[in-house]
């Protein structure tokens, strides 16, 4: 069961735009927003925005609902 779920997550991650995929990879590796911004030559605000967009798209791709949209 875990292998199927893991495969779905990897497939969803692969569908993210490149910049969103990059910031998520760095974030998942434990880097801070500021560290990611320095390494990718971005502003910290742009990193946060890409993370937010990536999370929203991942929820959509995986068919997850946010706490606010549950009925």
- Predicted pLDDT of residue 69: 52
Q: Judge whether residue 49 has pLDDT over 70.
A: yes
Q: 13-44 pLDDT, tens per residue?
A: 999 999 999 999 999 999 999 999 999 999 99
| pTM for the full predicted model | 0.80
The overall longest dimension of the chain from CA atoms, in Å, is 41
Q: Is residue 69 part of a domain?
A: no
Q: Is residue 68 part of a domain?
A: no
Mean pLDDT of 63-68: 70
Q: What percent of the chain has pLDDT over 70?
A: 89
Q: Is residue 13 part of a domain?
A: yes
Q: Is residue 46 part of a domain?
A: yes
Q: Is residue 58 part of a domain?
A: yes
- Predicted pLDDT of residue 71: 45
């Amino acid at each position: 069961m875990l292998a199927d779920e893991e495969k779905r997550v990897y497939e969803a991650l692969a569908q993210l735009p490149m910049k969103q995929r990059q910031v998520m990879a760095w974030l998942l590796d434990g880097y801070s927003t500021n560290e990611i911004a320095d390494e990718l030559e971005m502003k910290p605000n742009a990193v946060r925005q890409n993370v937010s967009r990536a999370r929203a798209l991942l929820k959509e791709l995986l068919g997850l609902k946010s706490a606010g949209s549950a009925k």
